[in-house]
Chains A and B, each alone.
Chain A
Amino acid sequence: AQSVTQLDSHVSVSEGTPVLLRCNYSSSYSPSLFWYVQHPNKGLQLLLKYTSAATLVKGINGFEAEFKKSETSFHLTKPSAHMSDAAEYFCVVSVFNNDMRFGAGTRLTVKP
């Protein structure tokens, strides 16, 4: 079965500094990988997805992620954090029929 591990439960950065949220995955088959963001008391919003095309994936709001098969990683990055980026971020893996397995989440705090 597929699974993901988000390596940090909480990341704190200053506004204007880079963001790195780490995710490792496990899958017996070629996976699709996603990053979702969830603001407090809100639903899930898709940031970006990897589905076996380009390994560097660009998403919304300046986020991007790189699929590294050799490292089984799919880390999320952003060059410059904004206050509005403060939220919970979920790394997700899917193999067949969109059965999505979520990581435990990383809470991003952005300090002014």
Chain B
Amino acid sequence: DAGVTQSPTHLIKTRGQQVTLRCSPKSGHDTVSWYQQALGQGPQFIFQYYEEEERQRGNFPDRFSGHQFPNYSSELNVNALLLGDSALYLCASSFFGAKDTIYFGEGSWLTVV
């Protein structure tokens, strides 16, 4: 049973570019949440997707957008990259509305130069 998988694991982008990160949730889970973890800090909630809609959003600008597909996988898109977007981006999967264990992927390391 595969856990949460994320791709790519590492990538380098230039300021102003756009990036897409991908996440496949744990088998059977229907909800995907995205987090940004800057170096030396705790993960910060970006947004959550369920039934292909954004359900909740943290304090992130509109440059951060996402999508969820019918198979529950998800993408995180960041436009007009800034140096400060350099971070580890974590995907978490769960059942919507359940106080159940949430599973995290290994993350995607984004470096903006």
Interface residue ranges, A against B (CB under 8 Å) = 32, 34, 36, 42-44, 46, 49, 51-52, 90, 94, 96-105
Binds A, one of B15-23, B60-68, B78-86, B100-108: B100-108
A87–B41 alpha-carbon span in the complex (Å): 13
CB < 8 Å: which of B43, B44, B94, B105 contacts A98? Answer: B94
Judging by beta carbons under 8 Å apart, are B99 and A94 in contact? yes
Number of A-B contacts (CB under 8 A): 61
| Complex contacts, A46 vs chain B, CB 8 Å | 101-102
A32–B42 alpha-carbon span in the complex (Å): 18
Residue B33 lies at the interface, judged by CB distance under 8 Å to chain A: yes
B87-104 contact mask (Cβ, 8 Å, vs A): 1 or 0 = 000101010111111101
| Complex contacts, A51 vs chain B, CB 8 Å | 99
The 7 A-B pairs of least Cβ separation, nearest first, read A102-B42, A43-B106, A44-B104, A98-B94, A51-B99, A32-B99, A102-B43
